[in-house]
């Protein structure tokens, strides 16, 4: 009788759970379901994405039911830790898809996290930077711990209730298979049968060796350069005596010309620029290049443009810097041009300058800017061009000039978008304090999508207006200006399917220069039409060197 009562009491304890324990179990189940079916791209992150049945739940229940008792907890802990790690990587994927339009590469992208942190510090200040680091560490640890504990708890519930678990498995497994075969969808575009975590794990497993093999093949290909043996005095012979300025406009992408909510200020600036240039005797030809990146990592686009090889990640960039590949800069330097980089966003040492072939770097300290401190993009583009004119282009005691200029006013979060003022008013930049709003540097993001679109498009228009105004004021018969975007803006601004095309234009008074590029098929003016030619950005170096130098470089 006593034994029977004890058994009954134990059975009752097994069947009955306090409400708090049941709530914890429900929350654990919701957390595991959420991390299993959550998408890894920001555009797919909708409520409908969670209306799916994950295969991993069915497989996990089946494995737990057949495992011996001593193996169940270690397997649950391991599965929870792996799922937690995949969740952290999925969060990184979401962030990268929102900003850089691609997933996170666990082999090659860790360096970008440090770069992003540096930019955050320059935009929000040291306090914001520290807060971001602390938050990232806390969230990462919390995700790993909570997901692991949730899996262990659900495994315990499954083991304690094998019959209901088996029945549920018997019903849900054929249902999942049927949904997978039939492509069942509760919401259009969202299949009920999901295997996202398994697919993500498989992709990560494939991604590591793929990234390593890609890096090895890229390094080997760097030495395959058709211009390696061309004598320096034959390079760029058709541009003899010209000042060539290569100006990158930050985040100036094709979407700035074609998306209705962005195009207004930009197309107006281009149309006005064409009129300004024509009045000064200049003409332009325009097309598109496909950048290797989107949303950020501008230096990779610069490296691609200058080196004639696709530099799509930091590892490729590092390999390129260790090579002896000819760049546009070193080609000009070898052919007798004075080469200079104007880098208003560079505040410290820039070792890449030696690889590219820049003889001088005019960085932030050298520019002598005394305007408002607004973070990384402090220097307004008009001040950058004014300083370039004063320090480089306007000098008479120099050889022909090749200049690479990075214009940063269109870099998010657009803390200052001033009007184009008279060039004699620019001075040391202190006048731009007049146009500073006094708001936090990233205030525009709190004002909503329309404000972000407006700030972005107005900043691009400002950069273009600055350039055309500079050409009109300071250009001469020997100027050849190449202006292009480095990459599209972030998908949060231009949308998820914007592509990676950027506009490029060549501006000059010299008809002979334009005649040489007639075969390129580029459009007249600064505004390329939607059907204008599109080249990979890495193709530009070879086309340019071939057009303005030896027609058959392989002959050497």
Give pLDDT tens digits for 466-483.
999 999 999 999 999 999
Q: Which of 268-282, 319-333, 439-453 has the lowest mean pLDDT?
A: 439-453
192 and 241, same domain (yes or no)? no
pLDDT of residue 552: 53
203 and 253, same domain (yes or no)? no
Over residues 359-398, the pLDDT tens digits come to 999 999 999 999 988 777 789 999 999 999 999 999 988 9
In the predicted structure, residue 197 carries a pLDDT above the cut 70: no
- Report the share of the chain in percent with pLDDT over 90: 44
Instruction: Tell me, yes or no, whether 475 lies in a domain.
Output: yes
179 and 302, same domain (yes or no)? no
Instruction: Tell me, yes or no, whether 505 lies in a domain.
Output: yes
Over residues 403-442, the pLDDT tens digits come to 999 999 998 888 889 999 999 999 999 999 999 877 777 7
- Between 502 and 495, whose confidence is greater? 502
CATH of the domain at 484: 3.40.720.10
Indicate the Cα dihedral angle 22, 23, 29, 32, nearest 10°: -140
Whether this prediction's pTM lies above 0.85 is answered by: no
396 and 531, same domain (yes or no)? yes
In the predicted structure, residue 191 carries a pLDDT above the cut 70: yes
Look at residues 155, 182, 213 and tell me which one is the last residue of a structural domain. Answer: 213
Over residues 43-93, the pLDDT tens digits come to 677 777 777 777 777 888 888 888 888 888 888 888 888 888 888 888 888
- Mean pLDDT over each residue of the chain, to the nearest integer: 84
Instruction: Tell me, yes or no, whether 541 lies in a domain.
Output: yes
- Conformational region of residue 353, where left means phi above 0, alpha means psi within -120 to 50, and beta covers everything else: alpha
236 and 208, same domain (yes or no)? no
Look at residues 180, 213, 246 and tell me which one is the last residue of a structural domain. Answer: 213
String of b and e for 45-69 (b: at least 16 CB within 10 Å)?
A: eeeebbebbbbbbbebbebbeebee
pLDDT of residue 13: 46
Q: How confident is the model at residue 203 (pLDDT cuts 50, 70, 90)?
A: low
Instruction: Give me the half-sphere count of Cα atoms (radius 13 Å) on the Cβ side of residue 265.
Output: 18
Query: Which of 111-125, 195-209, 306-320 is modeled with the greatest confidence?
Result: 306-320
Instruction: Tell me, yes or no, whether 224 lies in a domain.
Output: no
155 and 251, same domain (yes or no)? no
Q: How confident is the model at residue 219 (pLDDT cuts 50, 70, 90)?
A: confident
Measured distance CA(227)–CA(327) in Å, rounded: 10
β-pair partners for 553? none
pLDDT of residue 422: 95
Look at residues 213, 240, 258 and tell me which one is the last residue of a structural domain. Answer: 213
pLDDT of residue 120: 58
193 and 310, same domain (yes or no)? no
54 and 125, same domain (yes or no)? yes
Q: Is 9 exposed, middle or buried (0-12, 13-18, 19+ CB in 10 A)?
A: exposed
Instruction: Tell me, yes or no, whether 227 lies in a domain.
Output: no
Look at residue 531 and give its three-state secondary structure. Answer: coil
β-pair partners for 247? 405, 483
Q: How confident is the model at residue 505 (pLDDT cuts 50, 70, 90)?
A: very high
Instruction: Tell me, yes or no, whether 225 lies in a domain.
Output: no
Phi, psi of 401 (to 5 degrees): -115, 135
The secondary structure of residue 523, as a DSSP letter, is E
109 and 250, same domain (yes or no)? no
Instruction: Tell me, yes or no, whether 508 lies in a domain.
Output: yes
Over residues 3-39, the pLDDT tens digits come to 344 444 444 444 555 677 788 888 888 888 888 877 7
List, in order, residues 6 or more apart from 193 with CB less than 8 Å away: 52, 53, 55, 176, 177, 179, 180, 184
337 and 440, same domain (yes or no)? yes
- CA-wise closest residue to 469 among 285, 282, 340: 282
pLDDT of residue 143: 86
Indicate the Cα dihedral angle 446, 448, 451, 456, nearest 10°: 80
Is the separation of the CB atoms in 154 and 25 below 8 Å?
yes
135 and 106, same domain (yes or no)? yes
Measured distance CA(65)–CA(418) in Å, rounded: 67
In the predicted structure, residue 269 carries a pLDDT above the cut 50: yes
Is the separation of the CB atoms in 380 and 442 below 8 Å?
no
pLDDT of residue 2: 38
276 and 315, same domain (yes or no)? yes
Parent domain of 38: 2-213
Instruction: Tell me, yes or no, whether 221 lies in a domain.
Output: no
The predicted model gives 279-290 an average pLDDT of 96
The total domain count for the chain is 2
């Amino acid at each position: 009788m006593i034994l029977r009562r004890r058994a009954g009491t134990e059975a009752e304890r097994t069947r009955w759970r306090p409400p708090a324990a049941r709530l914890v179990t429900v929350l654990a189940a919701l957390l595991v379901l959420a991390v299993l079916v959550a998408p890894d791209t920001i555009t797919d992150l909708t409520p409908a994405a969670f209306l799916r049945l994950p295969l991993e739940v069915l497989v996990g229940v089946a494995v737990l039911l057949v495992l011996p008792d001593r193996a169940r907890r270690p397997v649950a802990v391991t599965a929870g830790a792996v799922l937690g790690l995949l969740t952290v990587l999925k969060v990184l994927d979401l962030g990268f898809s929102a900003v850089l339009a691609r997933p996170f590469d666990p082999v090659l992208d860790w360096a970008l996290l440090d770069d992003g942190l540096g930019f955050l510090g320059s935009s929000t200040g040291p306090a914001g930077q520290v807060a971001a680091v602390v938050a990232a560490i806390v969230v990462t640890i919390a995700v790993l711990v909570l997901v692991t504990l949730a899996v262990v708890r659900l495994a315990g519930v499954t083991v304690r209730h094998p019959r209901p678990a088996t029945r549920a498995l018997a019903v849900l497994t054929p249902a999942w298979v049927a949904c997978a075969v039939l492509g069942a969808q509760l919401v259009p575009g969202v299949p009920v049968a999901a295997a996202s975590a398994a697919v993500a794990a498989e992709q990560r497993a494939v991604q590591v060796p793929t990234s390593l093999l890609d890096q090895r093949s890229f390094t080997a290909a760097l030495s395959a350069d058709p211009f390696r043996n061309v004598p320096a005095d034959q390079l760029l012979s058709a541009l003899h005596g010209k000042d060539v300025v290569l100006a990158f406009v930050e985040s100036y992408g094709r979407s700035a010309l074609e998306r209705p909510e962005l195009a207004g200020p930009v197309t107006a600036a281009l149309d006005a620029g064409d009129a300004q240039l024509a009045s000064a005797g200049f003409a332009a030809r325009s097309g598109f290049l496909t950048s290797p990146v989107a949303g950020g990592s501008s230096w990779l686009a610069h490296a691609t443009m200058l080196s004639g090889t696709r530099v799509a990640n930091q590892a490729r960039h590092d390999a390129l810097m260790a090579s002896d590949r000819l760049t546009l800069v070193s080609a000009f330097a070898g052919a007798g041009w004075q080469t200079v980089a104007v880098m208003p966003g560079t505040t410290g040492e820039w070792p890449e300058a030696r690889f590219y072939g820049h003889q001088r770097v005019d960085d932030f300290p050298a520019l002598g800017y005394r305007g408002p401190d607004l973070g990384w993009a402090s220097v307004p583009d008009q001040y950058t061009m004014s300083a370039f004119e004063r320090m480089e282009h306007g000098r008479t005691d120099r050889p022909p000039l090749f200049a690479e200029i990075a214009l940063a006013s269109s870099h998010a979060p657009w803390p200052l978008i001033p009007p184009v003022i008279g060039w004699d008013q620019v001075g040391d930049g202190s006048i731009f304090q007049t146009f500073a709003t006094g708001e936090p540097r990233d205030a525009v993001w709190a004002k909503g999508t329309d404000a972000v679109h407006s700030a972005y498009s107005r900043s691009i228009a400002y950069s273009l207006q600055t350039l055309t105004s500079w050409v009109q004021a300071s250009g001469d018969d020997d100027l050849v200006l190449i202006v292009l975007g480095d990459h599209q803006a972030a998908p949060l601004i231009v949308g998820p399917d914007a592509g990676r095309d950027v506009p490029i234009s060549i501006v000059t008074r010299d008809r002979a220069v334009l005649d040489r590029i007639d075969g390129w098929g580029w459009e007249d003016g600064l505004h390329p039409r939607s059907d204008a030619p599109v080249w990979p950005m890495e193709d530009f170096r070879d086309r340019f060197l071939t057009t303005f130098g030896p027609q058959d470089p392989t002959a050497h």
